[in-house]
Structure 1
Amino acid sequence: MRKHMFFSWAVLTGLLLVAIGCSDVSEPTTPTYETNLSSDEIKNSAFKSEFPLHYETYLRNDESEIMTEYGGSVNHNKNDGVNPLPEGYKYAQPYLKNLWLGYPFSYEYRRARGHTYALKDILEIDRINRFSEKAGLPSTCWNCKGTKMLEWTDEYGDSFWVKDFNEFREDVDLDENTIGCANCHDPKDMELRLYSVPLKAHLESEGKNFSELPRNEQRALVCGQCHVEYYFQDEKFGAAKKPIFPWAKGKDPEDMYEYYKNTGDTNIPGFEGNFVDWVHPVSKTPMLKAQHPEYEMWYNGSHGAAGVGCSDCHMPYVRLDGKKKISNHHWTSPLKDPDMKACRQCHTDKTPEYLRERVISSQEKVWNQLLIAQDLSVKAHEAIRMASEYTGPKPFNYDELMIEAREMCRKGQFFWDLISAENSAGFHNPTKSLDTLASSQQYSQKAIDKAVEAASFTTARDLAGDIREIVPPILEHSRELQMDPDHMASHKWFEYIPLLPESEKVWEGNERLTSENAH
């Protein structure tokens, strides 16, 4: 009996000690730093001596030769499924140039490389006009490309956005000022901070203070400064060309689409007051160009809803120098790691092979629906073109049918573009991606149906075949090619855009090739 009682007291005492011990364990705290840097330091190399191991991993963003199944960092043309890497890739969307015709994205759209290439790539991309002193796009396009934004917005305020992009080409160091430490950290103490004017404005509109938000939310938002959908504000609503996040009604596709209905100054019949990025020259449809809504897709997906942040997957902890545990600042896909370590932090019972197959299987389903949505968007533009050029007897409600067809075309392409532009091939939120693409297909089909009805059903037979034979994909198109009459005669849709005057290239990267007074 005594032995039994002693055992019971020993067990109870042990449990009490465990309980007391556990109650004394504090929540893990974020490391604090006091560097030799000032808060306004923007040069990336300045952080090397302070954080050599972190900086070593940051430089790994220079990698630009590894592809995953549906993504990667080889800087290929995303519409080119004909040529091999590095020009094209097997998973291409062949109609990108058709769908963006008349908009700078139709000139060139490439797979993004690492963040260290942000400045180099934007200065070479054909979307920015290098054949003129004037870029044709505002300074807003610099917003997510580097640390100079911290100086420019401080110096110019809201007058910065409407300036010409090319005005600042010679003001950047391609290595020192590309996306880096100062975009996410205060150099003085390395606290997380926001540099993004549009995100600061959005948080303010919600009565939130970034410094008071939970740490996990802060970690996601520093990525959400740029990996988001946004637009350039019309002057009627405030500072011209200022970037704005369309989240006032919510972050889902329907919410953002509804938001855009009342934030523009267009007078196009049927679209009065809508925001419009450009009017598609073939269908005369006022269009929206989606950006890269990784944050909006992630936040209510399975990982986001469970509290798994961007950095948990894209900045997993690594050990360098044999013992030091740091966040990996090589921001890339977990799929590039054969051991899938980032995923196995949580999925400890799964093999790397199983996890990889799960990701790719999910992406495959989204990709297949993405291509169907893309084809239907092209057919919608062609159906509207045919109906607009139809000269036979028209139904009494022809104008209303054409407005509705263009509305559905605009909405269908925007929903397709949200998933097309999102950089995970749907994996950040597979359910939302598939639902968005299903809606895109339905809207585009409604556009086709209304346009056929507007043409008194006379165009139905011409639209019944394979869209790739009706409207071939545009494989090559650029500003320089648009100066060539032979090229402009090579596709029937090119007759809806102007032949550009011959011009010499003015810019190569951040260097001027000709005298400023030569043009």
Structure 2
Amino acid sequence: MKKYKILLAVSLVAIGLMTALVASINEKKDEQEKLNQVPKVDRWETKNEEFRKHYPRQFDSWKETKKSDEIHDMLKEYPELVVLWAGYGFAKDYNAPRGHFYAVEDNRNTLRTGGPVDEKTGPMPTACWTCKSPDVPRIMAEDGDMEYYTGKWSKYGSDIINPIGCVDCHNPETMELQVNRKYLDEGLKAAGEKTLAEATQQDMRSMVCAQCHVEYYFAKTPLADGKSAAVVTLPWAEGTLVEDMEKYYDNMEFKDWTHKVSKTPMLKAQHPGWEMWKTGAHGKNNVSCADCHMPYVQEGGIKYTDHNIGNPLENMDKSCMNCHRVSEKSLLANINEKRERKNELHKKAMKALAAAHLEAGKAWEVGATEEEMAPILKDIRHAQWRWDYAVASHPSFFHAPEETLRILGTALGKAGDARIKLAKVLAKHGAGDYKAPEIKDKKQAQEIIGLPFEKLIEEKMKFRNGLMQEWKKEAEKKGVYNPKSTEGVEDKTSYN
């Protein structure tokens, strides 16, 4: 009898567990069905918090980008950069990129955007907001692209307030992946690449990233009303390789700025991540950006993409190890070796370029002619463009290690050619014994190029404590900003 009682008890427990399991499975199925339904969200809802009501897992993982908050002052680590960018905004302030959560904050805080006092002042155009916020495509839809591209950066200070988020990549009415910035499709057409209309779902998992992680420039475009627009344009009409874009810029005699010391007409590479990715093994096999940077996460019966977009090496079991059949230790060792090789050439090219700029400045000082300097400046322009292209595509050593080393090798070679020619010019004008000073730290470098660093900080702090606070209040009144979204966010910079 006791035996039967035990069997009955075990059976009842088993039935209870099975019932609970079935209930759990059904609950997960109901939840998955709800997730698969597309709730009604306004087409231009740009407050990311509003999406948490419907997509809590995706939102919570996106908010994890808040943890990527370290300020890494690249000018302090590599003071030669100050000389390389003399006369350009990046010589004032340049930090390693942080998480998407900080896109707007970092754009407002950087010394590059200056200290505007109203909507018509400041050194930068509105186009400098383009990749920082879902409010940008909203404004483009409301005002038109050309109106958006006119005026100063401070023009939309109270309208562009929410950092990179949901509407940048999704149409909230359908939640389908969508590129919300027209210039990408225009660039693809110019390059003869597959257009967005032809793109597969797998392609779109990279295209939504490519609308920002690409090389671009601001094309000055006169308008019928007498205004001028600085239009984001992708330089792909000759192709998407570094030499193709170099040719494109040379043919139109374009320059981002004239170097303050060497007088070189310079090019500034932005962040050509997509162009570099497509030359590497992952790109050639159509392993998308999302496959590595947004791997799938499984929670019970729920599967979703991780929106904590960052370094895949911090989550290798869900990113790399889905495809690679080696140990994490072996894979990391291989990656670190590639990084070290890239860093070696990067540093050599950077130091050679800094010296070339200073030597060119000395050559002008002692009486070099424009005819003598023309081939030298061309070498400097091309060398720095190639060095910058390889470095500004931050993970290029990983996405396309062979292409990265090839580009840095040509940068180093062209910098060397410029210095050989400079040695001859300096000797001809009686300055053959000139030696460019060694760049020891950021402060020294800024003094060499005559950068008024303390004044820039003073102007920026006045802006941050004044006009910037007014922008936030105005944005809240307009209903485009939720102050709670930035509560507890430490206001970090490299200068205070």
Cα shift at 1:150:
1.8
Structure 2 CA distance, aligned partners of 1:327 and 1:377? 42
TM-aligned CA distance change 1:503 to 1:213, over 3 Å: closer
Aligned to 1:48, what secondary structure does the other structure show?
A: helix
| 8 A Cα contact 1:506 1:513, kept in partner | no
1:505 & 1:179 partners in 2: Cα distance? 24
For the 8 Å contact 1:123–1:509, the answer to whether it is kept is no
Residue-by-residue CA offset, 1:73-128 (whole Å, 9 max, x unaligned): x22101223xxxxxxxxxxx231111111111111101111101101111111101
Among candidates 397, 401, 412, match of residue 372 of structure 2 = 401
Q: Which amino acid aligns with 1:475?
A: K
Partner residue, 1:372: 348
Please, which of 422, 431, 448 is the counterpart of residue 492 of structure 1?
Answer: 448
Q: 1:422 corresponds to which letter in structure 2? A: S
Q: What is the CA–CA distance in structure 1 between the aligned matches of 2:452 and 2:247, rounded to whole Å? A: 29
C-alpha separation in 2, matches of 1:502 and 1:181: 35
Equivalent AA in structure 1 for residue 363 of structure 2:
A
CA distances 1:420-465 after superposition (whole Å, capped 9, x unpaired): 21121521100110010011011111111222222345444433xx
Cα separation, 1, equivalents of 2:402 and 2:188: 27
Q: Which amino acid aligns with 2:333?
A: E
Change (3 A) 1:510 1:45: farther
Per the alignment, residue 5 of structure 1 pairs with none
Flag the 1:207–1:436 CA change in 2: closer, same or farther, 3 A.
closer
| Equivalent in the alignment of 1:428 | 399
1:182 to 163, 167, 173: 167
RMSD over aligned Cα, in angstroms? 2.8
In structure 1, distance between residues paired with 2:178 and 2:265 = 37
Match of 2:439 in 1: 472
User: Number of residues paired by the alignment?
Assistant: 429
Q: CA deviation at 1:323?
A: 3.3
Name the SS of the counterpart of 2:53 in structure 1: coil
Distance in 1, matches of 2:153 and 2:409, equals 37
SS of aligned partner of 2:450: helix
TM-score by length of 2: 0.80
Partner amino acid, structure 2, of 1:253: V
Matched, 1:256 2:245: yes
Q: Select which of 229, 233, 240 maps to 1:244.
A: 233
| 1:35 maps onto 2:21 in alignment | no
Q: Which amino acid aligns with 1:327?
A: T
Aligned-pair distance for 1:399? 3.3
1:160 pairs, out of 131, 136, 148, with 148
* Partner residue in 2 for 1:79: 75
Identity %: 30
Residues 152 and 504 (structure 1), Cα distance of their counterparts in 2 relative to 1, 3 Å cut: closer
Question: Are 1:383 and 1:459, in contact at CA under 8 Å, matched by a contact in 2?
Answer: no
The offset of 1:261, in angstroms, is: 1.4
Contact 2:151 2:229 in 1 (8 A): no
Question: Contact conserved, 2:111 with 2:460, CA < 8 A, in 1?
Answer: no
Give me the whole-angstrom Cα distance separating, in 1, the residues matched to 2:413 and 2:460.
Answer: 45
Question: CA offsets per residue over residues 398-429 of structure 1, 9 Å max, x none?
Answer: 53330010111111111111122112152110
Q: Residues 260-339 of structure 1 correspond to what in structure 2 (within 5 A)?
A: 260-263=249-252, 274-320=253-299, 322-337=300-315, 339=316
Contact 1:37 1:187 in 2 (8 A): yes
Structure number with the higher helix fraction is 2
Report the Cα distance in structure 2 between the residues aligned to 1:64 and 1:291, rounded to whole angstroms.
21
Question: What is the alpha-carbon distance in structure 1 between the residues aligned to residue 154 and residue 327 of structure 2?
Answer: 50
CA distance in 2, matches of 1:430, 1:207: 23
What is aligned with 2:424?
453
C-alpha separation in 1, matches of 2:256 and 2:454: 19
1:228 aligns with 2:214: yes
Instruction: Identify if the C-alpha distance between structure 1 residues 236 and 39 changes in structure 2 by more than 3 Å, giving closer, same or farther.
Output: closer
Q: Is the 8 A contact 1:363 1:425 kept in 2?
A: no
Q: Note the C-alpha offset of 1:149.
A: 0.8
